[in-house]
Amino acid sequence: QEILRNIPCWPGKEQLAPDLGLCYNMRTMKKECMNMSDCLFCKIISGDIPSTKVYEDELVYAFRDIHPQASTHVLFVPKAHIPDAQAITAENARLVAHIFTVIPQVARQLGLEEGYRVVTNCGKHGCQSVQHLHFHLLGGNQLSETMA
């Protein structure tokens, strides 16, 4: 339960559940992830933008990618706003480890017994399109051997 205890809420938000990485927006009266107001994934997590949810617990939200690169393409997003892989620290590493315990469970539920790929993009040269750490689960068919 102490995975996110050291991650503060963004300015203007009251701490709701520090151990879950949740804040309470006093203006909108909604539970939110610790985010910047324009983060697409934070809006998906809060339900402001619809998604096809595949999995959710108190720390992670997983949903189908709207532009799939494989027959199965699911995004795993921490509910705490972490901008990218460069922002992974000793304080939030347990959250990332939790995501990597969830991914194989979901992969089994989706029938990916023959294998799958997990990818994260970081920064401009890594083609990160949303500035919120996320992991792509790709599978369902034979993937290319080339990565770039």
Which residues are annotated as catalytic?
134
The two three-digit tokens of residue 103, written as one number = 């991914």
The kind and range of the H/E element at 116 are: strand 116-119
Q: Where are the alpha helices (DSSP H) in the chain?
A: 40-46, 93-109
What does each C-alpha distance from 97 to 22, 75, 78, 80, 147 come to in angstroms?
A: 19, 15, 11, 14, 23
Sign of CA dihedral 59, 25, 42, 63: positive
The kind and range of the H/E element at 61 are: strand 60-64
The side-by-side arrangement of strands in the sheet containing 13-17 is 13-17, 22-25, 30-33
